Amino acid sequence: MMRPAPWGELSLRIAEHPLFTSFASHLAAGRGRATRLPPAAAAWVFDLIAEQVGRPVVVVVPHESDAFAWLESLRLVAGEGVGGYFATPSLSPYQEAEASLTVRAQEVTALADALAGRLRALLVTPRALFRRLPEASGLSPVRLARGDEIDLDELALRLTALGYRRVDLVGEVGDFAVRGGVFDLFAAGDEEPLRLDLFGNEIESLRRFEVESQRSHDELREAAVLPLALFPEGPDSARRLARVLADVAGEEPGRETRDHLATLADGGQFAGWENLLPLLAPRTLTLADLLPDALWVALDPAALAAEVTHHGQRLAEEFAARREHQRFALEPALLEHPVEAVLALVEGAKAEVVPLAAPGEAVDFGVLTTDLFHGQLPRFPNEVAATRARGERLLLVAPQERHAALGELLEGRDVVLGRGGVEIVTGEVERGYRLPAAGVAIYGETQLLPRPMARGKRGKGRFGPFLATLRDLKVGDHVVHNDHGIGQFVALRSVGGPGGAAPGGDGAAALPASMRKLAGPATADNEVMEILYAGGKRLLVPLARLDLIQKYSGIEGIAPRLDQLGGSSWNRTKSKVRTGMRDMAEELLKLYAERQLARAPILAGSTDLERQFAAAFPFDETPDQADAITVVLEDLGQSKPMDRLLCGDVGFGKTEVAMRAAFRAVDAGYQVAVLAPTTILADQHLEVFTRRFEGFPVTIERISRLRVGKDLKDLKTRIAAGKVDITLGTHRLLSKDVEFDRLGLVIVDEEQRFGVAQKERLKQLKKNVHVLAMSATPLPRTLQLSLAGVRDMVVIETPPKDRMAIE
């Protein structure tokens, strides 16, 4: 195979090196053991082994992080698409909770790619080896092609059996929707969903479409739809499972067991029922049965065996606990492969990589991780010289768009670029390594500089806010049209084809039969949302204009009055709101005029130390969080005092934004005051701030009523002398006896919960400093100040990965 430069040339050096040939010969003789070969370097070595023997490798790793490091390195040296990950189940088979459709899609896609021979490496953890797997035929895709004749009802039933779910509007993997002659589907392994336009029962066109705009593109001839379930689901499977479980349950099953049996007998399901479906299969397989030709690799066999044993013990304990409390539970061996079978897979691996080994017991590749140079870039030229003195090449791995900036940075420190110095190559690697067998030392960009802020994928613009709520929209829910006011959602439908809605603004109900042929087949391009208004009038809104509509949000339990389509009630409502806002304007402007004229310290950045602090954030920033950080740091760089309200649900990352601002202030030589309304919240902030600032030259203290006497006096003296960088506290921090030397930033959590006296003192503090207020639920007046533009506001709406917004 052709490898991207310079990895092809270096791979030849590895293949010819005595260490590699010795290890390969041991493998050919039956078993090979290697040491001092961390996951990133092992990925390269075993990819060459797989290439030589013409067989894929199944790599069992102790932890998920090892799998990701392996796959990251494999992408670097061999390109995209040659490695896969059979995801570790996040739930125990005894947990009655629905598995993530995204995780299920990753499982099935990885297995299907491995069975099709598209992978050279499949990564698994011990937990994944416990899974009972179907025959290869159970993972066969459903094939759809232009010109095929299909029955939509039968296709819907088949997809349900494959683990897909029917929704009103497709938004994520696992969804399908039927609207007239349009069938939308987001299949496992696909980047975008699929749209089938039908004329009668014939598939007239197959196209991809964008989730946010719902607009289609890229005509296809055919498509393959992988199953989302390892074993068939649906009502038929539920009823069969009820009969099987009835035999196992005994003569006097418990109440929970009886409830589950009744649900299944009716063709229904309960959370976690998919864990029982292997009971319906004539036989189940291990991963080794499914991939008989693969070469198995065990990374740290001792750690793997410990993980296997631990999981077996945990399952046994869960089973015993459920039985003790008369909960529904089957023997662990009925749900997953037994511990002995999984241990046999690990112990039977032909290749082992061990952390340490006595001389002669393993091939010692002598790989070492390369150093970090955060804040110590002046040392890097010495490292370059040492690497060249050893006769090794030095590769710096970075995204293509970062090459120019890195080149300028290194040349400014008299580092030679190119084969005789530092070679900058395209890719991503978290932590590099020295591989003597290749004569190379690899560095990731983030080993020299903190990684750039992760921005995440952006939405497509104006459709995003509405579609986020539309996916939860039900028939009968109220919506608000920008021009026509409050109406009631009736349906999504097409304006052509049998049963199609009438085109036009007001929308009579349906096309007369005599006109249906003229309208042509139903397609997504003429789909509309039907909205009911007062007097029974209806409005049809094309999907392309869904940005005009939002889901109505009012007082729970009180239904709003529908507006008259074409009437004046909505315009009167908007006029009253405008008048009220004008009445507020004078008060609000007067309140903040003094602050607008004030001047605060300019807290400019960003330094190497600040970039290191950003890089130490252990998670990827969400798009909104990254925007909030940028906006707040820009505010701090101005002489106008920042007065910004930061809104977002609990757990959405407001505190990280505040800590970035605090670090900027401290790095610029100023002090920070962090105010919380309760002792518990102040203590939580102290714990979070202390952990986040660990390793950085920042002094953090907490002032409270529990600190008294000499301890309190010493603390106040240190604050007044500027020796405390960040001071946290409740209203005690607002006392007049607490004075700061160079206060530059005040961070207020849940400002609306402070009393009147505290707010008056806070106003004095705010006059010539920057202020960042955080709130999950701001009071109306606080919110009005922001919406009126007198007080700036930034909102974090995107949740972190795998976290949903609080309802």
Beta bridge partners of 541: 529
Single out the residue in 316, 331, 364 at which a domain terminates: 364
Beta bridge partners of 539: 531
In-domain check, residue 52: yes
> In this structure, how many other beta carbons lie within 10 angstroms of the beta carbon of residue 359?
6
Report the pLDDT value the prediction gives residue 454, as an integer from 0 to 100.
43
The rounded percent of the chain whose pLDDT value lies above 70 is: 85
Alpha-carbon gap, residue 719 to 709, rounded angstroms: 16
268-272, 339-343, 465-469, 784-788, range with greatest mean pLDDT: 339-343
434 shares a domain with 478: no
Which among 269, 280, 273, 278 is positioned nearest to 235, based on CA atoms?
A: 269
Residue type at position 737? D
Annotate 24-61 with three-state secondary structure: HHHHHCCCEEEECCCHHHHHHHHHHHHHHHCCCEEEEC
Q: Which of 238-247, 541-550, 789-798 has the lowest mean pLDDT?
A: 789-798
Alpha-carbon gap, residue 538 to 226, rounded angstroms: 40
707 shares a domain with 776: yes
Position 424 confidence tier, pLDDT thresholds 50, 70, 90 = very high
501 shares a domain with 649: no
Backbone angles phi, psi at 579, to 5 degrees: -65, -45
Report the pLDDT value the prediction gives residue 409, as an integer from 0 to 100.
87
Single out the residue in 330, 364, 398 at which a domain terminates: 364
Residue 162 scores a pLDDT above 50: yes
Domain that holds residue 105: 7-135+284-364
791 shares a domain with 664: yes
In-domain check, residue 277: no
550 shares a domain with 470: yes
Report the pLDDT value the prediction gives residue 495, as an integer from 0 to 100.
65
Q: Which of 136-145, 243-252, 670-679 has the lowest mean pLDDT?
A: 243-252
Report the pLDDT value the prediction gives residue 525, as an integer from 0 to 100.
53
Report the pLDDT value the prediction gives residue 758, as an integer from 0 to 100.
61
Burial of 206 (0-12, 13-18, 19+ CB in 10 A): buried
Q: How many angstroms separate the Cα of 82 from the Cα of each of 146, 221, 344, 778?
A: 30, 26, 27, 49
Mean pLDDT of 559-571: 83
Task: Give 664-722 pLDDT, tens digit per residue.
Answer: 999 999 999 999 988 888 888 999 999 999 888 999 999 987 788 888 999 999 999 99
752 shares a domain with 660: yes
475 touches 489 (CB < 8 A): yes
Euclidean distance between the first and the last CA atom of the chain, given in angstroms as a whole number: 51
Residue 261 scores a pLDDT above 50: yes
Average pLDDT, the chain: 84
Alpha-carbon gap, residue 302 to 245, rounded angstroms: 38
Report the pLDDT value the prediction gives residue 720, as an integer from 0 to 100.
94
Report the pLDDT value the prediction gives residue 590, as an integer from 0 to 100.
62
Burial of 564 (0-12, 13-18, 19+ CB in 10 A): middle
3-state class of 353 per DSSP?
strand
Report the pLDDT value the prediction gives residue 762, as an integer from 0 to 100.
65
Report the pLDDT value the prediction gives residue 791, as an integer from 0 to 100.
56
Residue 769 scores a pLDDT above 80: yes
326 shares a domain with 359: yes
Mean pLDDT of 48-69: 94
CATH of the domain at 524: 2.40.10.170
In-domain check, residue 276: no
Which among 724, 725, 675 is positioned nearest to 704, based on CA atoms?
A: 675
Mean pLDDT of 20-25: 96
Alpha-carbon gap, residue 265 to 561, rounded angstroms: 43
In-domain check, residue 593: no
Task: Give 576-634 pLDDT, tens digit per residue.
Answer: 877 766 766 665 566 566 656 778 888 877 677 888 888 778 777 888 898 899 899 98
151 shares a domain with 119: no
Report the pLDDT value the prediction gives residue 416, as an integer from 0 to 100.
94
Single out the residue in 423, 448, 473 at which a domain terminates: 448
- The DSSP annotation for 104-155 comes to HHHHHHHHHHHHTT--SEEEE-HHHHT--B--GGGGPPEEEETT-B--HHHH
Q: How many independent structural domains does the chain possess?
A: 6
Instruction: State both tokens at 797.
Output: 């709406």
307 shares a domain with 206: no
300 touches 353 (CB < 8 A): yes
Position 202 confidence tier, pLDDT thresholds 50, 70, 90 = very high
Report the pLDDT value the prediction gives residue 204, as an integer from 0 to 100.
93
Mean pLDDT of 771-798: 63
Burial of 330 (0-12, 13-18, 19+ CB in 10 A): middle
Position 101 confidence tier, pLDDT thresholds 50, 70, 90 = confident
Residue type at position 508? A
Q: Which of 17-31, 431-445, 454-468, 729-743 has the lowest mean pLDDT?
A: 454-468
In-domain check, residue 302: yes
398 shares a domain with 258: no
3-state class of 306 per DSSP?
helix
Report the pLDDT value the prediction gives residue 586, as an integer from 0 to 100.
62
Task: Give 304-325 pLDDT, tens digit per residue.
Answer: 999 999 999 999 999 998 888 8
Q: Which of 147-156, 662-671, 795-804 has the lowest mean pLDDT?
A: 795-804
360 shares a domain with 372: no
> In this structure, how many other beta carbons lie within 10 angstroms of the beta carbon of residue 282?
5
724 shares a domain with 613: yes
Q: How many angstroms separate the Cα of 480 from the Cα of each of 71, 366, 466?
A: 47, 66, 11
Backbone angles phi, psi at 540, to 5 degrees: -110, 120
In-domain check, residue 807: no
Task: Give 516-551 pLDDT, tens digit per residue.
Answer: 333 334 444 567 788 999 888 888 888 767 778 888
Position 643 confidence tier, pLDDT thresholds 50, 70, 90 = confident
Report the pLDDT value the prediction gives residue 569, as an integer from 0 to 100.
79
Residue 508 scores a pLDDT above 50: no
Mean pLDDT of 560-569: 83
272 touches 98 (CB < 8 A): yes
In-domain check, residue 195: yes
Which among 598, 481, 497, 579 is positioned nearest to 538, based on CA atoms?
A: 481
Higher per-residue pLDDT: 50 or 1:
50
Query: C-alpha 132: how far from its chain's center?
Result: 27
Report the pLDDT value the prediction gives residue 551, as an integer from 0 to 100.
83
Position 804 confidence tier, pLDDT thresholds 50, 70, 90 = very low
Alpha-carbon gap, residue 389 to 394, rounded angstroms: 11
pTM for the full predicted model? 0.64
Report the pLDDT value the prediction gives residue 188, as an integer from 0 to 100.
94
Residue 161 scores a pLDDT above 90: yes
Alpha-carbon gap, residue 14 to 790, rounded angstroms: 64
E strand segments, 258-391: 295-299, 351-354, 363-364, 368-369
> Tell me, what DSSP letter sits at residue 536?
T
Mean pLDDT of 162-178: 91
The helix (H) or strand (E) run that includes residue 218 is strand 216-220
β-strands 182-185, 194-199: how paired?
A: antiparallel
Instruction: State both tokens at 255.
Output: 């109440």
Report the pLDDT value the prediction gives residue 611, as an integer from 0 to 100.
81
Mean pLDDT of 404-423: 90
Mean pLDDT of 486-511: 55
Residue 84 scores a pLDDT above 80: yes
- The DSSP annotation for 458-487 comes to ---STTHHHHHHHTT--TT-EEEETTTEEE
Report the pLDDT value the prediction gives residue 522, as an integer from 0 to 100.
44
Instruction: State both tokens at 271.
Output: 């959370």
Alpha-carbon gap, residue 171 to 185, rounded angstroms: 9
Higher per-residue pLDDT: 706 or 242:
242
Report the pLDDT value the prediction gives residue 244, as an integer from 0 to 100.
92
In-domain check, residue 578: no
CATH of the domain at 423: 3.40.50
